[in-house]
Amino acid sequence: MNNDKILELFINALVLFTAIPIHECAHAWAAERLGDDTGRRQGRITLNPFAHLTLFGSLMLVLVGFGWGKPVQVDPRNFKNPKRGMMLSSLAGPASNFIMAFFSMIVYRVLVIIALVQNSEFMYTVATVFVYVTIINISLGVFNFLPIPPLDGSKIFNAILPERLYFKIMQYERYIALAMIVLIYTGLLDKPLAFLRNIALTVMTFLTGWVDIVMGWILGI
What amino acid positions are annotated as catalytic residues? Answer: 24
CB contact at 8 A, 112 and 58: no
**Local structure of residue 70 (DSSP, 8 states):** P
In DSSP terms, which residues pair with 53 in a beta bridge? 69
Cα separation of 103 and 95, whole Å?
13
Of the CA atoms within 13 Å of residue 165, those in its CB half-sphere come to: 8
Contact 115, 215 (CB under 8 A): no
Decide: 15 and 61 in contact? Cβ < 8 Å: yes
Question: How many whole angstroms separate alpha carbon 130 and alpha carbon 126?
Answer: 7
Q: How many CB atoms lie within 10 A of CB 220?
A: 6
Bridge partner residues of 69 (DSSP): 53
Cα separation, 47 vs 28, in Å, equals 11
52 Cα distance to chain centroid: 14
72 sits in the region (left: phi over 0; alpha: psi -120 to 50; else beta) called beta
